[in-house]
Amino acid sequence: MAKIILKNAQELDGMRAAGKVAANIRMQLAKEIAPGVSTQELDLFAKDIIEKAGARSAFIHYPGPRGVPKYPGYTCISVNEEVVHGIPGDRKIRLGDIVSIDVGVVYEGFIGDNAMTVPVGVTDMKILELIRVSEQSLMNGIAKAVAGNRLTDISHAIEQTVIPHGFGVVRDFVGHGVGRNMHEPPQIYNFGPPGQGPVLKEGMTLAIEPMVNLGTHNVETLEDGWTVVTADRKYSVHVEHTVAVHKGKAEILTLPDE
């Protein structure tokens, strides 16, 4: 496995600044989510505020797999059965939807990557539980991102949080190291046994991002080559923070100002 890039104090400051920008944009974008608004309108709003912040999207024109066009959006917006990498378009938000927004920015050479799932007038308690449990799984994963632990301690904590609720943890997509590039080693699975993989060290910066499905964990990719949906078309939640590993306690880099 390729070497995990450790960040020195100055680089960590760069990651803090990028994380802050990404988090503030995520929160501003979340407030624009409402019935009748299209995901394209949300994406263009995000483009605007990303530029006003002196940053740029880390996603636009990101290369896809062989034969798939480069990613066309500034953000990823995934509605209901869409798991991740939803391409913004004509789809309008409706009451009862859940909307996952994924915001990654490059700011002064460093990347902040974060996501959240916003319920829009959702009353179904099972869906609200899905969101709450997914957020808890992220926090429990982050709690394991401390120096001296092993990488899959994070993976295991995420899965263990979800299992008692009977939801499905997506296996085909992973979290990742992040720094000057959006995807650095290591890949971070959201399931599996603890105590494996590299020992975590001070100065590692990781994007931890569980994707949790109401039903089956199985997913498919649509014809556009990007949009990942649940195999059973039931709802899915995606939450993500960029964190820095330290001794004793992880530092969440993508907390917004307010």
Instruction: Return residues touching Co ion (CB under 5 A).
Output: 113, 207
Q: Which of 45, 59, 110, 191 binds ligand MF3 (CB under 6 A)?
A: 59
Binding track over 192-221 against ligand MF3, x by CB under 6 A: ---------------x--------------
For ligand MF3, the closer CB: 2 or 125: 2
What is the C-alpha separation between 254 and 144, in angstroms, rounded? 17
Q: How many CA atoms lie within 13 A of 157 on its CB side?
A: 22
Q: Which of 71, 110, 189, 235 binds ligand MF3 (CB under 6 A)?
A: 71
Which of ligand MF3, Co ion, none does 76 bind, CB closer than 5 to 8 A by kind?
A: ligand MF3
For ligand MF3, the closer CB: 64 or 96: 64
For Co ion, the closer CB: 159 or 209: 209
For Co ion, the closer CB: 26 or 127: 26
H/E stretch holding 42 reads: helix 39-52
Nearest to 198 by CA among 133, 150, 136, 236: 150
CA pseudo-torsion sign 40, 46, 50, 51: positive
**Residue found under tokens 């034969």:** 67
We find the least distance from the C-beta atom of residue 170 to ligand MF3, in angstroms, to be 13
Does the footprint of ligand MF3 cover residue 177 (CB under 6 A)? no
Query: Which residues ranging from 136 to 175 are in contact with ligand MF3 (CB under 6 A)?
Result: none
For ligand MF3, the closer CB: 16 or 176: 176
We find the least distance from the C-beta atom of residue 173 to ligand MF3, in angstroms, to be 8
We find the least distance from the C-beta atom of residue 205 to Co ion, in angstroms, to be 12
Residue count, binding to ligand MF3 (CB under 6 A): 10
For ligand MF3, the closer CB: 82 or 113: 113
We find the least distance from the C-beta atom of residue 242 to ligand MF3, in angstroms, to be 10
Which DSSP string corresponds to 175-221?
EEE-SSSSSEEEEE-SSS-SS-SPBP-TT-EEEE--EEESS-S-EEE
Contact 40, 127 (CB under 8 A): no
CA pseudo-torsion sign 215, 65, 115, 94: negative
Question: Which tokens is 192 given?
Answer: 């599996």
**In the chain, what are the helix, strand and coil shares in percent, each to the nearest 5?**
30, 25, 45
Question: Which tokens is 74 given?
Answer: 């500034």
H/E stretch holding 158 reads: helix 151-162
Does the footprint of ligand MF3 cover residue 26 (CB under 6 A)? no
Does the footprint of ligand MF3 cover residue 85 (CB under 6 A)? yes
Residues that bind ligand MF3 (CB under 6 A): 59, 62, 71, 76, 85, 102, 104, 113, 176, 207
